[in-house]
Amino acid sequence: MQRKKVVVDAAIDRADRDQGLLLLLTGNGKGKSSSAFGMLARALGHGMQVGVAQFIKGCSTTGEEGFFRHQPGVCWHVLGDGFTWETQNLARDTETAQRGWAVAREMLRDESLGLVVLDELTYPLKYGWLEVETILADLATRPPMQHVVITGRAAPEALINAADTVAELRDIKHAFRDGVRAQKGVDL
């Protein structure tokens, strides 16, 4: 254990620059969006302006949206039609995702935003509603100190390679397998 701490401490000591980070939270486990919203709270605590673009969620409000949407310094957009992979309307789903990306692109160009959360962006990529190359190009041209957090399962390899930090969350055990519905304050 001591050896690991020495290695980590040495890496911290070598760090010598600041930059906007691209973070990717992926995997089948619970907590990707929750982690991103924790970073959102942290950024607000440091006086940063933040933006959120939710790509799959539609009309149902989450606790995070209910709280953060009304905080000073937060720009919040729900850009999806709900869990659209159930609609079987590829043209509408693609159009919705592309309209959503236009909003997200504007946030990525906004120098006043210190952190942008692109919640569940991996799904429109997985289903082909958005092109990975377009997303990567827009991410590459964002303001130099803007941090971006992307969440969602099945992140494409190109996005993983572009990210500065990648965390994969995995389930070990989950209450829904025992028939427990998603709970307010914990799951939504």
Q: What is the pLDDT of residues 40-78, one digit of tens each?
A: 999 999 999 999 999 986 666 788 988 999 999 999 999
Q: How far apart are CA 53 and CA 163, in angstroms?
A: 18
List pLDDT tens digits, range 7-44: 877 777 787 888 999 999 999 999 999 999 999 999 99
Q: Are 3 and 130 in contact (CB under 8 A)?
A: no
Residue 18 lies in a domain: no
How many domains, the chain?
1
For residue 148, what are the CA distances in angstroms to 14, 20, 90, 105, 117? 23, 8, 28, 12, 6
Residue with tokens 């609609």: 87
| Cβ atoms < 10 Å from Cβ of 46 | 8
Q: How many residues does the chain have?
A: 188
Strands 165-168 and 147-151: unpaired
Range in 32-46, 71-85, 91-105, 126-140 with the lowest mean pLDDT: 71-85
Residue 123 lies in a domain: yes
CA-based nearest residue to 68, from 97, 37, 105, 96: 37
Average pLDDT in the 132-141 region?
Answer: 98
Q: How far apart are CA 111 and CA 141, in angstroms?
A: 11
Q: How far apart are CA 81 and CA 8, in angstroms?
A: 43
Average pLDDT in the 139-164 region?
Answer: 98
Residue 53 lies in a domain: yes
Residue 3 lies in a domain: no
Residue 170 lies in a domain: yes
| Cβ atoms < 10 Å from Cβ of 173 | 6
Residue 2 lies in a domain: no
CATH value at residue 97: 3.40.50.300
Distance of CA 91 to the CA centre of its chain: 24
**At CA 40, angle to CA 36 and CA 43, rounded to 5?**
135
Report the pLDDT value the prediction gives residue 121, as an integer from 0 to 100: 96
DSSP 185: T
Average pLDDT in the 145-153 region?
Answer: 97
Average pLDDT in the 168-174 region?
Answer: 90
Q: Which residues make Cβ contacts (< 8 Å) with residue 166, sequence separation at least 6?
A: 23, 24, 26, 155, 160
Full residue range of the structural domain in which residue 148 is found: 23-178
Residue 86 lies in a domain: yes
Report the pLDDT value the prediction gives residue 57, as an integer from 0 to 100: 66
Please, what sign has the CA dihedral across residues 4, 5, 8, 14?
negative
Residue 87 lies in a domain: yes
